[in-house]
Amino acid sequence: MTAQQRIVVGLSGGVDSAVTAYLLKQQGYEVIGIFMKNWEDDDDSEYCSSNIDFVDAAAVADVIGIEIEYVNFAAEYRDRVFAEFLSEYQAGRTPNPDILCNAEIKFKAFLDHAMRLGAGKIATGHYARVRLNPATGRHELLKGLDPSKDQSYFLHRLNQAQLSKTLFPVGELHKTEVRRIAAEIGLPNARKKDSTGICFIGERPFRDFLNRYISKEPGPIKDDNGRTIGQHVGLSFYTLGQRQGLGIGGIKAQGAALKAVQAKGLRGAGEHEPWFVARKDMANNTLWAVQGHDHPWLLSHALKAGDASWCAGDPPAPGDYGAKTRYRQTDAGCNLRLDTAGTFALRFAQAQWAVTPGQSAVLYDGEVCLGGGVIAAAGD
């Protein structure tokens, strides 16, 4: 059997990677499963599911009839992903560690390990697709066919070398079909709930987790008139657009402020309007909150991004594209301007809500994911 016929699948214990392994075996490939252990600070925690996930992955491998190997990438994860995650939060930004995990662990450390096992390619259970464009000779990252599950946003930092060695079989299917296949072949995890937490945090309360690594620095919460309306526990614990956990729900806009809000015709304007985090002033340790989902402080027509990564290797030509500034957002029409190396600017036809530094701005040309960068700042 040649290396090209051997595919190493990242088995997470979930249904998507299980069906991925099954489909590839049905296609005649020699399939080897690998379970990646990326976090081990609190294996005995009620929120850490890795031990359960490994049992599920091993059970899947047994049903499908493939070998499974347990590989520990915790040291690489801590150095390449978690350290950056903490650094970004301490700087007041809101990072997306799943994007970094894909670029540094699943499609680097894991890919390297698979190549050492003699694999021709790796495969994961992501909802995305890869195709070779014959006109350019380059591999393209495409959205998954199920629009409600598309994960290309999280994969936008993959490069040509990584894309050329990767398969995403379930990216051609809808989630309902994946679950149907799993049930039909008797996979023990056919009905297992999808994971929703950040890869190393799992389902635990986020603030409790962050508390262990970042010290609290309380300070004032102010509204857009400069009125102190509460106290925050530390700017690192909040993100732009956040509505829950502010402790100011009973505070109402007053007098001229209330009239101004109502005059703007903002959605839900009035005394029962929810409060949202709108700005973080790191220099003065102040959290700014505003009332109303459509408050002007929450809306941006432009952004600047850095640390750009383009799937083709080169940036796309300046012009009009679609973009997401957060996962599950529909593509928003925008104009791309390339600045200095590794930076770019986007201007949107429609104002975008709660554009957040540290998150990723990802560009699309139709169904093709072009790449993106880390949001540095939002603007008007």
Fill in the amino acid letter for 349.
Answer: A
Residue 69, number of CB atoms within 10 A of its CB: 14
Helix (H, G, I), strand (E, B) or coil at 208: helix
- Looking at 138-277, list the stretches that DSSP marks H as alpha helix, in order from N- to C-terminal side: 160-164, 175-184, 206-211, 255-263
Please give the sequence-ordered ranges of beta strands (E in DSSP) within the chain, or none if there are none.
6-10, 30-37, 67-72, 121-123, 128-133, 138-143, 166-167, 219-222, 228-232, 275-281, 286-291, 299-310, 319-324, 332-338, 344-353, 360-365, 368-379
- Alpha carbons 262 and 283: distance in angstroms, whole number: 32
Helix (H, G, I), strand (E, B) or coil at 228: strand
Question: 245-249: long-range contacts at Cβ-Cβ below 8 A with a sequence spacing of 24 or more?
Answer: 245/207, 246/221, 246/275, 246/277, 246/289, 248/221, 248/275, 248/289, 249/274, 249/275
Q: How many residues does the chain have?
A: 380
- The residues assigned a catalytic role are 101, 199
- Let me know how many helices (H) and strands (E) the chain has, helices first: 10, 17
Containing H/E element for 79?
none
Q: Cβ contacts of residue 69 below 8 Å, gap of 6+?
A: 32, 33, 34, 35
Write the DSSP symbol of residue 83: H
> What tokens does 246 get?
């502010």
Chain center to CA of 47: 20
- Alpha carbons 331 and 352: distance in angstroms, whole number: 11
Q: Cβ contacts of residue 107 below 8 Å, gap of 6+?
A: 122, 155, 158, 162, 166
Nearest to 176 by CA among 130, 127, 122, 143: 127
